[in-house]
Structure formats: C-alpha cells, structure tokens
C-alpha cells in the first residue's frame, strides 16, 4: 500500500465518523512511505511483509477488544457500523468474527466472490459462514489469543480462511452481516502479480495445515480442477500448477488438522471443506 493517499484518507475519515465508539486507528505502512492521515497513527514496516503479517503487526500494536480490518481503498458506508458490530459481539459471546458486506460504490453491486457462501447466494441475507473477508471485517481479540493470527507465510490469499478454520475448530462462530456495508471498488484479484501461483500454493498449504488427510486430498484435487478451469489462459493455468507444486513441496508450517466435528459443522453450514 502507499499509492492511494486519497482513498486512504477517505478510509480513515469514515472511521472517524463512526458514532458511539472511540476508535483507536492505526495505518500499517507495509514497506511503504505513508504520511500519517489526520486522526490515525502509522506503524511503519521496513519491508512489505505481506497482507497477513501486516495485519498481525497492527493487532500487536493496538489494544481494543474488537479489531476492525479495513483495506486502504475502502470506507464504511454508515456511521453506525462500528457500534452495530460492537453490539453484535456483546450480544453473542460465541461470536468470534464478523464479515462485512462489500458494495461497489459505482454500481451498487456486491460481487458474488465477496459473499462467503457457496452458490448464487443472496447478498442481502445474513448468516453464519465458514470464512470471511479480511479487508472488511471485525475480529474479537480473544480469537487471536485463542487460535493465533493470520499465517504470515501466506503473504497474500486465503490467510482469512486459515484463521477462520482455526476459529471454527475452537468453537467460535463467524457471521456475514449483509446489513453492515463497506464501500469498495470491484476489482479482479488477478490484477495482483503472481495471483494464480500464490492462490494455488496457499490452498494446498491450507489443506496440509488444517484438514484431515482424506479431506485434504479431496480439497486439493477439487480446487486444482476449479482453478485450472477458471485461470483463463494457458499461462495462468501454468501458474496454477506451479503454485500447486510449490504447495506440495514447501513447508506449510505447523500441521494442526481440524476435528471431524468441525468438518461436520462446516458441512451443516453449507460449505464442506472440500470446496
């Protein structure tokens, strides 16, 4: 980050407009030279450590019981959003993570991939889910204390799902709130360099770290096919398979597979961990 100063200022301003809360605002400058926006502190990391490591650093340098994550090109649509999230956590002691709704400010649409459910899901329906959107979310700090933060080694892509699966396995709930909106321009994730390689590598790492072996094998096989079909070009398909190979060869970090009752719980929530 660091090349969107106007968007960053708008993001911080939208936090400052939140009613009935006193936010502690911290901008993580992930290997970038970012001037401090009005109303926010800045944590400067010498190098770009990746999205998950940047978020983890931000959590370590803040103190609130509820940690909100907001991308630098997004902003809260309503001044009552933060207080509604705080109230949701207060009302449900087992609620660990809230995934907010993304809406494109130009079109008013919510992209299908921004709804953390399978199928042609209704963006207007709130529900319990099995993953969340890292750049438009709120996490109970105790979740980090109980299960740990985002996996630094992922750098970009699927780090939220790794944290989400650990939270579910520890008994926490994750809720998608359709009524709490974040304005964020719709952009294709493929715009990022090495998206296909990192996404495929991290899916394999996710399976190796968090799934029982038989489920992990199915998950990797299913996503290998899906990712290849979605790649869009022979070059992108080659990057997909480069990532799969890297994910199989490289050390994914500590393996702590979820319990079978968590596999069943995810299945009952409509997202068995094979897809």
On whether residue 56 sits in a domain, the answer given is yes
pLDDT at 257: 98
Provide the residue range defining the domain that includes 219. 193-268
Give the end of a domain, one of 136, 171, 187. Answer: 187
Domain CATH number, residue 124:
3.90.550.10
Tell me 22's DSSP state. -
pLDDT at 183: 98
Q: What percent of the chain is modeled with pLDDT above 70?
A: 97
> What is the band of 35 on the pLDDT scale with cuts at 50, 70, 90?
confident
Instruction: Record the tokens describing residue 89, joined without a space.
Output: 């956590």
On whether residue 152 sits in a domain, the answer given is yes
The chain-wide mean pLDDT, for the chain, equals 95
On whether residue 273 sits in a domain, the answer given is no
Q: Are residues 36 and 153 in the same domain?
A: yes
On whether residue 248 sits in a domain, the answer given is yes
pLDDT (tens digit per residue) in 210-252: 999 999 999 999 999 999 999 999 999 999 999 999 999 999 9
pLDDT (tens digit per residue) in 258-269: 999 999 999 999
If you average pLDDT over residues 172-193, what whole number do you get? 86
What are the φ and ψ backbone dihedral angles of 263, each rounded to 5 degrees? -55, -45
pLDDT at 189: 66
Number of domains in the chain: 2
Q: Are residues 102 and 29 in the same domain?
A: yes
On whether residue 206 sits in a domain, the answer given is yes
Predicted TM-score (pTM) of the model is: 0.95
* Longest CA span, the chain: 52
Give the end of a domain, one of 187, 206, 235. Answer: 187
On whether residue 105 sits in a domain, the answer given is yes
């Amino acid at each position: 980050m660091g090349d969107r100063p106007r968007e960053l200022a708008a993001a911080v301003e939208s936090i400052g407009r939140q009613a009935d809360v006193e936010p502690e605002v911290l901008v993580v400058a992930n290997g970038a030279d970012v001037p401090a926006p009005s109303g926010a502190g800045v944590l400067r990391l010498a190098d770009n450590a990746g999205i998950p490591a940047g978020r983890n650093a931000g959590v370590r340098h803040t103190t609130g019981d509820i940690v909100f994550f907001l991308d630098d090109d997004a902003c809260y649509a309503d001044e009552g959003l933060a207080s509604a999230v705080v109230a949701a956590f207060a009302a449900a002691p087992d609620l660990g993570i809230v995934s907010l709704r993304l809406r494109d400010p130009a079109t008013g649409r919510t992209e299908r991939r921004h709804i953390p459910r399978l199928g042609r899901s209704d963006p207007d329906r709130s529900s319990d889910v099995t993953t969340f959107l890292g750049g438009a979310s709120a996490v109970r700090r105790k979740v980090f204390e109980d299960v740990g933060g985002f996996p630094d080694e992922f750098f970009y892509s699927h780090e939220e799902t790794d944290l989400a699966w650990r939270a579910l396995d520890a008994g926490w709930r994750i809720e998608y709130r359709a009524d709490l909106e974040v304005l964020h321009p719709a952009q294709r994730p493929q715009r990022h360099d090495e998206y296909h390689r990192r996404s495929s590598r991290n899916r394999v790492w996710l399976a190796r770290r968090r799934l029982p072996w038989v489920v992990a094998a199915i998950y990797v096989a299913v996503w290998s096919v899906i990712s290849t079909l979605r790649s869009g070009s022979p070059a992108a398909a080659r990057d997909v398979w480069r990532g799969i190979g890297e994910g199989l060869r490289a050390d994914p970090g500590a393996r702590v597979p979820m319990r079978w009752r968590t596999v069943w719980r995810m299945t009952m929530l409509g997202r068995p961990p094979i897809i």
